[in-house]
Amino acid sequence: MTVKGTLTIRTTKREDSPGDLLGMFFEDLNHAADSESEGNRSCAFDPIDPLHVHTLTAWEKVECEDGHQDFDLAKKHARKLFLQHQGDYELQVIAQGFEKPFKQEMRSIEGMIAIATDQGAAEFSRIHLIDHATGEIQALGAEHTVLFDTEQTRANGKSRRMLELKAIASEHYTLSLIARRIEGSKGVFIHFGRRDDQNQIIWEIGGRKNQDSLISAFVEGRSSVLIQSLFTVETNVDYHLVLVVHGRTIRAYINGILVAETEYRTAVIESLYYSSSIEEVTGDIILKVVNVQGKEAAAAVRLEDLELTLLHIEAAQLSWHGLREENICEEPERIVPAYTEFDSQGSTFEYMFPSRSVTVLRMKSHSAAKFC
């Protein structure tokens, strides 16, 4: 094993409230996915389109039919690991010798623009796209475009949920349109920067339970909410919607009022994310390490201020081989924690952290520890 860096745990530097890296892991996994999808290689979990999925789905047991055993999603396994190894006091960790953080290239938000409805019907009109880089103004779609996604149209196979309008490759553009909800419980949707269903940005006006105006970015099917505010869409009321994209900055207006302004920032991805704590009753030192990158990372783990003759380490590890991998009814244990134990002489040992992994190391002294 070629060690590329050192994680030094300062065992005498104690703080209250040990940190939790779990939200950071799934957020940065999204960014890592974004980087990989462009050929260079993604703390809010947010659900994607399926109706049975919601914000707590990741932490619940999934029920299967056809005789398959119920199972936990990989995210729940990760959450269990973090909750089972909390510690009482946080310990300072110093990282040295690792690769510099990887920063993704800043690119404009380019791709297909589309309009959509969900569980209802909506009418769109007076759709115009302005390319500020060229000065071109285009009228898009028909004079009046109606999209249907009701129970009836789904049942008879006549749903028309989305209409793709135009792909644009510009660093500065404005989309303007009139939208009206005809029926349904939700509002209307504008997709932009769209490459496919798994990679796009969506402005939801009256999304979720018709309580929000929110803009979400989807990378390889995983989503992050960029900005959110309260807004409710009324039936048979016209709304003038304007979306302005300039570089990575997004502004959204409803009836001339700015309701969202955000920057879709590119990620700065560290070699490893880490936190450490100590359990007061047992004296165990806990190290949590997250590797969101698509390559393994070898590290030396050093316990500072401790003189030990023998260290016993218990390791719990959860890793993803593919960014879209998940446990399913047919393979309920595709992604589950792996447990190992090993001993090390002294207070320093080497460990390989797999790509896209969550690792919890619990370190126990086989001899009395002497604090220096």
Q: Tell me: the pLDDT tens digits for 216-265? A: 998 877 778 899 999 999 999 999 999 999 999 999 999 999 999 999 98
26 phi/psi in degrees, rounded to 5: -70, -30
pLDDT computed for residue 98 by the predictor: 86
pLDDT computed for residue 44 by the predictor: 33
Q: For 70-74, what is the mean pLDDT?
A: 58
Q: For 136-140, what is the mean pLDDT?
A: 96
Give pLDDT tens digits for 330-369: 666 667 788 999 999 888 999 999 888 889 999 998 654 4
pLDDT computed for residue 336 by the predictor: 78
- Integer distance in angstroms from the first to the last C-alpha of the chain? 30
Fold of 111-263: Jelly Rolls (2.60.120)
d(CA 334, CA 17): 33
In the block, residue with structure tokens 């349109």: 177
d(CA 53, CA 215): 18
- Beta bridge partners, 173, equal 131, 245
When the pLDDT of each residue in the chain is averaged and rounded to a whole number, the result is 80
Give pLDDT tens digits for 24-38: 444 444 444 443 333
Q: For 75-95, what is the mean pLDDT?
A: 81
Q: For 205-219, what is the mean pLDDT?
A: 87
Q: Does the predicted model carry a pTM greater than 0.75? A: no
Report the share of the chain in percent with pLDDT over 70.
75
267: pLDDT strictly greater than 70: no
Element (H, E) at 116: strand 111-117
CATH number for domain 5-104+269-371, candidates 2.60.40.1180, 3.20.20.150, 2.40.50.140, 3.20.20.70: 2.60.40.1180
Residue 41: both structure tokens together: 């290689």
Give pLDDT tens digits for 276-321: 999 988 989 999 998 888 888 899 999 998 777 789 999 998 886 6
Give the closest residue to 166 by CA, choosing from 189, 136, 147, 138: 138
The structural domains of the chain, with segments of one domain joined by +, span 5-104+269-371, 111-263
| Cβ neighbours for 46, distance < 8 A, ≥ 6 positions apart | 55, 216, 223, 224, 225
- Dihedral angle computed from the Cα positions of residues 299, 303, 308 and 309, in that order, rounded to the nearest 10 degrees: 0
**Position with higher pLDDT, 270 vs 60:** 270
For residue 126, how far is the Cα from the chain centroid?
A: 35
**Helix then strand then coil, % of the chain, to nearest 5:** 10, 55, 35
pLDDT computed for residue 244 by the predictor: 98
Q: For 111-140, what is the mean pLDDT?
A: 96
d(CA 80, CA 178): 47
Residue 42 binned pLDDT confidence (cut-offs 50, 70, 90): very low
Residue 18 binned pLDDT confidence (cut-offs 50, 70, 90): low
| Cβ neighbours for 103, distance < 8 A, ≥ 6 positions apart | 266, 267, 268, 269
